[in-house]
Amino acid sequence: MNWDRLTTVEEMEAATNSLLENGKKVGADSWQQRVKNQTPHCGFGEAGTCCRICSMGPCRITPKSPRGICGCDVHGIVGRNFLRFVAGGAATHSDHGREIMHTLHQTKPDGSYQVKDPEKLLRIAKEWGVETEGKDIYDLAHEMAEIGLMEYGKPFGVQRFLQRAPEHTQKLWHEAGIEPRAIDREVATALHMTHMGNSSLPEALIRQSLRSGLSDGWGGSMMGTEFSDVMFGTPKPVDTTANIGVMEKDMVNIIVHGHDPSLSEMVVYYANDPEMIALAKSYGAKGINVAGVCCTANEVAMRHGIPMAGNFLSQENVVLTGACEAIVVDVQCIFPALGPLSKCFHTKFITTSPIARMPDSEFIQFSAESAGENAKAIVKMAVENFQNRNQDLVNIPNQVSKARVGYSVEAIVKVLDGVANTQVDELGTTKPLLECITSGVLRGAVAMVGCNNPKVRPDFAHIELMKKLLENDIILIVSGCSAQAAAKAGLMDPEVAKDYCGAGLKRVCELANIPPVLHMGSCVDISRMMILASQLSKDSGIPISQLPVVGCAPEWMSEKAVSIGNYVVATGIDTFLGVDPYSKGSDEVTALLQGEHGIKDWVEANYTVELDIEKLGDKMIERIEQKRAALGI
């Protein structure tokens, strides 16, 4: 156990190798092997130059065949592929948000789901102009759920949450014609525009990409985050642990994996049920241990201090320990590989959502109406499976780091305010953070997000970039699998991580008693970052695009990540990618996304793609310093 220093990527890789050896004993497949089988990848796919949206194709663009059969050129094809990527991500995040609104509609004082943060509900109701006076809080919750659900399909108007953005940003969106209307409409419009025989003009396709992305970040994701807080509590700093060693040799291990906290919250609840614990003991276990993988891990870590076993590319590792009684999943980022892999061990692979059905799994359909019953059945199945564990196959690498997590915007404002002791209004102020930045004690902030991708050495880019930025007095705000990379390494342990900071950042961390890498939650919680950036802009009077703040997704892989990139950039935050977004086949699309006169003219920010991680870090620092110089700070 590394309580007093960082865990290195080399050490994590050694642990993974020992797990792969475990897998070999039982004939398990692995993503590491499948990457080899799939390499090299298709060059047309990687350049974005293959079109298969009608059955006259597929059409692949080469110097000899510069147009598809319909006559579409490479710019139209790359642009359409890019927009479809965004639409997939926006639909996915937003549908998660929609599920949360349906769960909100099911809240009852004595039911499975309750209103745990009534103040937040009242605050949002006021924002939305909903009368709250004298209303029962559950009646209000149901009314808000219905209004929120209308945001998905309303025939007129734009997203309600846009009014949270600074006026300057709202004006840019209006002038660029990218204010998102109903959430579903932006996804449908994207699919309509990219159907055979519609848009092939890159500018129009990229404009809709930003608009669809905004419907996610300022629509579906923001609702997912805000109303999860209303039901499950707004995260506050809490101590937990991370990395594969959080699994317990003598306990029933239940891994929750996926994204929607409605499921994991209930599994956590029933894992603490005395009846279930007694049952576990009757099978010879010392108790029940719940740990998380992927964004579900972030959700339950932030609210309950549940340990985080790993991120995206660690999902097979938890099964390979031979000590996983059940891996319980809901939606998104779940490897279908978990089905056959779980069959090599005693592990139950339990799928719960009609959205994510997979072969070789046990399906227990989870719904808000029968949540308690479903969760209890899942926990019971895991507990009863303990007796089937083969102790000879158990290999839990002894790797655990401490992590302080739970930095919602509300929590960040509160901890920093405690240091500066300023007077705050109801929502608090980001002025102490701004003062740290303008005085130069902190040079700026980086929002580091996103996945792992075998195209980049897993976790290495996240961790090395973070260390480089910390050294340069740049504070990190992180989410998703990036957050777990940091937690696994120990960068969220205030005691360990402060030694990697420059003098200014170290002082701030000590005064506020925070780690220099702040865990802001899951990927839908990148909406929290938009709220923080907006608040910084309003409190300083400086447009978001001029603040010394950038975004970074060094190892991204999913459609959701592209949707996120689009709303982050559209909000005015320059975004740095370590994996190419399949746009390099078109110089026109590349210029729109990365040039000085593309999206930058509309939203004052753009993308930088740099596959060399060292250079990616240098470029971020350079951009932050340029912004500081422009502000004269």
- Give the shortest CB-54-to-ligand SF4 separation in angstroms: 3
- The option from ligand BF8, ligand SF4, none interacting with 294 (CB < 5 to 8 A, set by class) reads ligand BF8
Nearer to ligand SF4, 47 or 371 (CB): 47
Q: What angle do CA 565, 568, 569 make, to 5 degrees?
A: 85
Nearer to ligand SF4, 56 or 278 (CB): 56
- Give the shortest CB-434-to-ligand BF8 separation in angstroms: 28
Nearer to ligand SF4, 70 or 424 (CB): 70
- Give the shortest CB-176-to-ligand BF8 separation in angstroms: 26
Nearer to ligand BF8, 125 or 300 (CB): 300
- Give the shortest CB-79-to-ligand BF8 separation in angstroms: 23
- Give the shortest CB-178-to-ligand SF4 separation in angstroms: 25
- The option from ligand BF8, ligand SF4, none interacting with 560 (CB < 5 to 8 A, set by class) reads ligand BF8
Beta bridge partners of 239: 404
Written as six digits, the tokens of 245 are 């060693």
- The number of CA neighbours under 13 Å toward the Cβ of 365 is 4
Report whether 169 contacts 534 (CB < 8 A): yes
Report whether 550 contacts 446 (CB < 8 A): yes
Interacting residues with ligand SF4 (CB under 6 A) = 51-54, 56-59, 68-70, 72, 77, 196
Report whether 100 contacts 144 (CB < 8 A): no
Report whether 72 contacts 51 (CB < 8 A): yes
Nearer to ligand SF4, 199 or 253 (CB): 199
Nearer to ligand BF8, 216 or 493 (CB): 216
- The option from ligand BF8, ligand SF4, none interacting with 582 (CB < 5 to 8 A, set by class) reads none
Nearer to ligand BF8, 51 or 295 (CB): 295
- The option from ligand SF4, ligand BF8, none interacting with 12 (CB < 5 to 8 A, set by class) reads none
Nearer to ligand BF8, 327 or 434 (CB): 327
Nearer to ligand BF8, 23 or 480 (CB): 480
CB within 8 Å of 272: residues ≥ 6 apart: 288
Report whether 125 contacts 160 (CB < 8 A): no
Nearer to ligand SF4, 52 or 108 (CB): 52
Nearer to ligand BF8, 96 or 623 (CB): 96
- Give the shortest CB-89-to-ligand BF8 separation in angstroms: 8
CA 9 to CA 488: how far, in whole Å?
9
**How far from each other are the two terminal CA atoms of the chain, in whole angstroms?**
42
Tokens 């007694």 correspond to 278
- The option from ligand BF8, ligand SF4, none interacting with 122 (CB < 5 to 8 A, set by class) reads none
- The option from ligand BF8, ligand SF4, none interacting with 450 (CB < 5 to 8 A, set by class) reads ligand BF8
- Give the shortest CB-463-to-ligand SF4 separation in angstroms: 41
Report whether 288 contacts 299 (CB < 8 A): no
- The option from ligand SF4, ligand BF8, none interacting with 57 (CB < 5 to 8 A, set by class) reads ligand SF4
Tokens 């509590």 correspond to 233
- Give the shortest CB-58-to-ligand SF4 separation in angstroms: 6
- Give the shortest CB-582-to-ligand SF4 separation in angstroms: 15
DSSP assignment string, 334-361: --TTHHHHHHHSS-EEEE--TTS--TT-
- The option from ligand SF4, ligand BF8, none interacting with 53 (CB < 5 to 8 A, set by class) reads ligand SF4
Residue 14's CB is within 10 A of a number of other CB atoms, namely 13
Single-letter amino acid code for the residue at 616: L
CB within 8 Å of 288: residues ≥ 6 apart: 251, 252, 254, 271, 272, 276, 277, 280, 379, 382, 383
Output phi, psi for 330, to 5 deg.
-115, -90
- The option from ligand BF8, ligand SF4, none interacting with 69 (CB < 5 to 8 A, set by class) reads ligand SF4
- Give the shortest CB-201-to-ligand SF4 separation in angstroms: 14
Interacting residues with ligand BF8 (CB under 6 A) = 259, 294-295, 311-312, 333, 450-451, 480-481, 522-523, 558, 560-561
Cis ω before 516 (30° cut-off from 0): no
- Give the shortest CB-80-to-ligand SF4 separation in angstroms: 8
- The option from ligand BF8, ligand SF4, none interacting with 558 (CB < 5 to 8 A, set by class) reads ligand BF8
CA 605 to CA 168: how far, in whole Å?
14
- The option from ligand SF4, ligand BF8, none interacting with 372 (CB < 5 to 8 A, set by class) reads none
Beta bridge partners of 310: 293
CA 591 to CA 540: how far, in whole Å?
31
CA 293 to CA 321: how far, in whole Å?
14
DSSP, res 547: S
